[in-house]
Chains A and B, each alone.
Chain A
Amino acid sequence: MKRILPIGLVVVAALNIVWTVAAQSKPADIKIDNFTFGPQELKVAAGATVTWANRDDIPHTVVSTDKAFKSKVLDTDEQYSFTFTAPGTYTYFCSIHPKMTGKVVVVQ
């Protein structure tokens, strides 16, 4: 019993690290094309970094509706990344073409 407990703790700790790293390294990409964010709704774990890449032939921006994040203007093939540390629902839009909207849902 005494020997199993420390080993058990080590295993749990190791699994915890692996789980966290796995969640963070899952690709969290949003492609901007044809005046659309794709996917329009993306779910990620807290700590994940989301990268928006503009593949459209016109510039766009990524601006959160509650000032959580704001990209500079992205011309074709430019990218913007943001790391979501806190869980929550983050709605955002393109400030040049405000009809373009999207959502990132961040879970624990």
Chain B
Amino acid sequence: MNAPTAIAATPGTQAGAGRAVGVGVLRAPWVGRLGIPPVVFYALLAALLVVLVLYPFAVLLTSSFFTGQPGRLGSFTLANYAVWLGSWDLLPIMLNSMIFSASRLVIALFFALLFAWAVARTNVPFAGLMGWMIPIPFFIPDLLTGFGWLMLGNPQNGIINQMAQQFFGAQGPIINLYGWGGLIFHASLNTISFMFLMLVGFFKQMDASYEEAATTLGANKLRVMITITFPMLAPAILSISLLVFIHGLESFENPLLFGNPGGVYVFANEIYRMLSYRHPPEYGAATALSVILIVVTFALLVVQWRKLGGRRFTVITGKGYRPTRLRLPGALRWGIFALFVIYFLLAVVIPIGQIVFNSFFEIFGLYGWQYVTLKNWANVINNSRALNGLKNTIIYATLAASAVVVIGGLVGYIRVRTRHWLGYALELMAWAPWTLPGVVMGLALLWAWALPPQPFNLYGTALVIIIGFIVKGLPLGAATMQSAVHQISMELEESSRVHGGSWLRTVRHILAPLLRRGALAAFVIVFAIASRDLTIPLLLYRDDTETLTVTLLHYYETGDMGTLAATSLIQLALVMMLLGLDRITREKED
């Protein structure tokens, strides 16, 4: 370790004798700098992102003008677009999507605002508990709670309907979750949680001095809420609402589970229908519809930028904040709390409880002590399909999350620390898949990686699913890494450089340890996104690359509810593990 040659003599050595500090002038060992200019490195990273992100976009767009199918382009045609634009077929899909997305948004916004405001700004009972529990549904995949609710509320043999007929003598089904009702109901549950998560921070961190100013000018607390608090948060609320609306247009699981059996088709399940339920699959029409969906979402995004780009109210200063909590009358306090309890029952306890319950019965709906069995669990463990799915999910999600942490870290570092224009280009590319619907992404990757000749033809390989997870996880993963880099003061790195640390040693001793927490957070986020994703593997899997979500859908479609329930709980355990990990990393950050 102690290399005497490093402490070389320099002109200062003689003068150093008798100084208060040090044994002599110490010199840093000369480490040769790599001869490669950093721009080359940026360009290589940009090239990687072009291949990962832009290339599938481009192929999707191109193939929408061709007659072929993945692996073979065929000849040029406009017929794919004629299917949609030359008929009235697009109209119901467009209308259904808008109605679905808008009603989901309105319902979720109302409850999310109520809960966020109550938790952050009022004396609602158990505010801390509510703040902790309302985000939980967001972490539970729609697929699982959807299965739970469909077991309970399908019109043929849903448990609620069975019980109604058995105990109360109902003639037909009293509840039917197929179609619009079930679709909007179930999609709203998860969205409330997501919007709460986005909004509660704004309510909590809003600078109290704006409200205090209104109070000193004679407004009572309720008037302050109405005239100051909500209007000031309006841009944030609007921005989040637009985002939720756009995501509504892309959602797949709910339309698939609740829409399909009720004949409600929006963009995502219509695209999937053309690919999977038609023989032969109508690749051309599906691809054209995908491009139309991209255009619609992009137009909405432009609206979001235009409307909100210039005027963001700066209300989040975080300083000088003292919670000014509104004292609500008792009935209102407990009323809001009761709503929360009902919400949590509907969003988590009832559907998950149903799955847990069902996992111990062999025949769906035949519940009684004499039927309790562990057969389903044995089935899951002995039948390699579920375990193989779990194994694949963990491997693919781990690899994708690791890749995103590395790519996102590099993109974030270049973007934050350099002024090079490629930094912006990299950020933009990493962010681009943000609003790309999962089904569209799957289809684009299918086209893109079935097209090239061997050995670049990745069709049917695990790699193409991993690439899909990387692309899907990149926007949030890169943003997380970027903010992690952002939080590290540049002076911490510069201080290392000045005091003798080369670039490489600065990365090793300073940057890497300081980024560890952010990297863990990014890893967890991407792993969570990947492990719960259905659309990408659904379009890209083959038997041996099936993920757990695909396995789940298979059991649902074959009606094997016992095995479905047990397998769902494995998926849930994976999710809960992540939730715990996420909470731990977050608490450490605070």
Question: Are A and B subunits of one complex?
Answer: no
Q: Which residues of B contact A (CB under 8 A)?
A: none
